[in-house]
Structure 1
Amino acid sequence: MMFRSFCLSAAFALIPIGSSFAAETAFEGERARMLGDYLSGSYARYLNDPKAQSQFFQDAFSLAPTDNRLGRLAVYSALFSGDRKLARDTAERLYRQDKSESMSRAVLSVDAFAKGRTARVRKYATEPTADITMGIAMNIVLGWTLVDEGKHEAARKVFSEMGGATYFTHLGQLQLAKLEGRLGNIEAAQAAFDAVEDSGLAPLEYGLARARFEAANKMPAEAQARLQAMIDDNPAADIGPVGSYLDRLKTGKRLPKLSVRAEAARALTEPSFAFFVRNNSTEGGETFLRFARWVDPDFDRAAVWLAGLLEETHPVMDDVTRAEVVALYQSVDEDSPYFVNARLGEANQLFDQKIDEPALQILQSLAMSHPSYFTREALGRARFFRENWKEALPFYTQLVESLSDDDLKANPEPLRLRGIIYERLGMWPDAEADFLRVLDYQPDDADTLNYLGYTWVDRGENLTRGFELIERAVELEPDSGAIIDSLGWAHYKLGQYDDAKKYLEQAVVLTPYSATIIDHLGDAYWKLGRKREATYQWQRALEYDATEEEAIAIQLKLDSGPDAIPAQ
């Protein structure tokens, strides 16, 4: 949800007694309408309806044009609804009545920077503000404006005094490194890059920026080695800009030289997830991504990341938001290094709507045009999550056979997923062999320890060893409801019903909507003679995500008791 932490109580908390919101009469006239619009906007915000939210807050601000808090909400909601013109116009209204208001200044700075109006950027962004978040956004566009104007010493000062947490000190240091690189100050640039590397900040943008710097300064071997190391650390990087840069260098092509707008967009994009979302501020993350898209609409990383953030914050997606997410993915051209990620995101949107055939066509086209481990695996995974086991099996078999022992040791997931497919198809010896092979590669793979241990216990095989595997998985993932459920079920299979109940109750608390776990708890209650509670749990299990097979078994237990379930 875009405003995940927001609730109606928070809406009322914004209205202190005696403020301009408080109606002095019986809520008649304009004050009553303003308050109604405000509360409607707050509720639309709670329901995650950005268009309605924007309209209500705009109406409320029109009725109370001197209230800065309403103006700020109106600017935010216009920005989040994707209406830049409305955000800019509302920011201008707010700025005219209060030239110190930070949100309006940030929006007007970003708009001026996008239009190349450097004097206006300095007008809006130069004065300090106590609003750290908006101050950082303004410092980013102000610093790169000063670079564009050739005022390098002033730009250095802005980047060196970025403000905010330590993260932003290092983000400013990265801008300094880029500036010194543009000016040909090799030693100063390298020192600044080294400081950023030591901080661990923004490994993707740091690596790409340093590779651009090295390639532009006759250090192509160093750039190639750096990019290859990034792919070695994260194989997924091969299908994005890192792989694209490496391919360009290997074929003798130059790496792109970025404009000041492109640099500012990258600086605004980096904190979105690495700082804001990580610190539970999805609003801050979305604000910076929308600013990045505003200053450079061609920066596809911001488009893909914004689409991903909207997906993350809208678990139940309305048509308007879904249309924006799809449009963001479709805005990425085929020659972009983010094309594969964008098309995978578009396919996921179709799968979410159960529109499978067009989604599979996208994946098949990707696998042909951009063959890689990830595009091949996506085809198998699509069938895996639709539980189309027979069609998924050949994809994962081909994938596993194409990987070396070193590849599988680094990433045994294809082997584990093939083991699950084998187990679901009733090919247990093959499944068991794959799970044991995974544990040879990675003995502490908690998911495999749990799956193999649980299945052994459930089948009544290798009970002692299965119990040990599950206990080890619990040590590794003590907050996993699924793994705690396995431990409870192992106790149940061993006839230790009190222990089973204890762990299964814990598992239900950790994962309250799992039909499987709730069903297991009902079984434990039944064995302990608590038949009414058992029946209640089985009835609850049917309300959640029970598979067809589970639902049939649970209904049999409700109708005739557990003894009616055929022995397996």
Structure 2
Amino acid sequence: MNGNKILMLTALILAAVGLAAGCASRPAAPPAEPVPAPRYAAELEPYEEAVDPACAYFQFTWGKITELGCCLEDARYAYQQALICDRKADYVMRSLAMLLLRMGERAEAIAWVQRIIELKPADLSALSLLANLYTTASEVEKAVAVYRNILTIEPGNANAMLMLGVLYAGSEREEQAQAVFEELVALHPEFFLGHYYLARFYRDMGAMDRALAAYDRALALNWTPAMAQEAAAAYESAGLYEQSLRLYRQMIADDPTDERARGLLANIYLRLDRVEEALAELAELRHYSADVDNIDLTIARILLDEERYQEALILLHEMLSDEPRLDAVRSLLVLGYYRSGQVARARALLEEIRPGDYGYEEAVLMLARIYHGAEDPVTAARILDRALAEPEHRYLSFYVTLALLHAEWHDAGQGILVFDRALRDLGPTARVFFEYALYLDRIGDGEGALAKMQEVIARDPQDPFALNYVGYTWADRGENLTQALTYIEEAVRLRPEDGSIRDSLGWVYYRLGDYRRAVEELELAVELLPDDPVIYDHLGEAYRELGQRGAALTAYRRALELLDPLQEREKRMAIEEKIEELAR
């Protein structure tokens, strides 16, 4: 046995003993005699001739063993020693880079991988590792450059093309991403991941026909439940429910215990109003689920929605007999009794619910509603007052409901006192001020409502609804327009898909005299809320100021169609006058 082999064997034995005893701050020094000293000093230039490959391999082996024992600092030291022995040992550099990653030192890891590439410019595994490191460090352009380099060395490299496409898509370079993905599947038609990422890209771009075709190809190459579920969701979003059902059925055929697939299948049946099939699927799911109670509750809710009260009540009573304190069942029973006209039984059950029980808040509100509906507002108010006497279980909804009851009894001032009490009991929070403002607006106190909404903004400057309320009120009055624009722009930033807030932005532009911007925002608001007559009225105003007479008439007429002919007569008359003026 030669000296080098003896040296390596000795290292392995010593390492095994060291791991059994635990890691020290540095690995135990190997025996002095067997280890040959480096023939060259440590000051050697990085890529001068190797000092001693055997020494390097010994230190590398030592490093690997200590790394496996989770002594990362010791492993790092050993790898560095190996690189003193052999400055060109790329296998050591690679292990050191991966170790540094484990230690969270990404920058130093990148430096070592770059050194490997300096030694071996065409090393594809090192280049791929470098690109991945750049990607995880969010240095996208550097990662892109490395993947392009890989494709120069090896045109058509599937993994490099895939990752390049992903980086392009993630940095909103859709055309480049599409070109790379499409070339990838053309060059590698059996590459599953290529078709999968192409499908996701098309889906995100809204090209659903292409996305679905790519999903189908990916499933043909590699069927998995997760992939099938994603494809089924894509079919569902495209309104192709039968194809979605087909995929869920196939998932269930492959695995009858797949609870998620059965639940999603039942949900689509409900969306299609195929209630019996949904109920049948849920009944089958009971055989495989550990949470049978939750499934039965879902079935009961469906039966209640379908007005099949008797079936729902029978099921709920069966559940209640098994678990008398199942509060969710009791709440549904109340709803079933109430909807089926058994008000006395609903009332009796609600009376049993105590503060702290599940559904207590809803129970109090429903009980108050029952008495109010029975034209017994005094008892309704007494129930809410009794609930507010419980300091640990006061809800803002109790104050709001009580105040609204007073407003309906033509005692709006008493409702204001209720909200003043809420401020004392619950504190001057943004939520309390917001509900207070809505109440004041409802009873016609616009100034009070505006002041309370400003209190909301003072406490929560990012409440989009308060910002919108104040901004729109100012715009409608033609005052504080600059501040109104600032408020509404912030509200739009917070809720860009809210059509009402978009309408406010359009209206403030209108008040500022920027009619083109007003039309842009109001047209977007109409897309978001296509059945709101106020938005069409505003849009008609903006079109009229731009001299677009035909567009204004169309908008006004649409507003007229959407207004209630009985409850909004004054608004209808105002719009009819505008139409008559333009039609002359």
User: TM-score over 0.5 for the alignment?
Assistant: no
TM-score range, shorter chain: 0.3 to 0.5
The structure that has the greater radius of gyration is 2
TM-score, normalised via structure 2 length:
0.43
Bigger RCO (CA 8 Å, 6+ sep): 1
TM-score, normalised via structure 1 length:
0.44
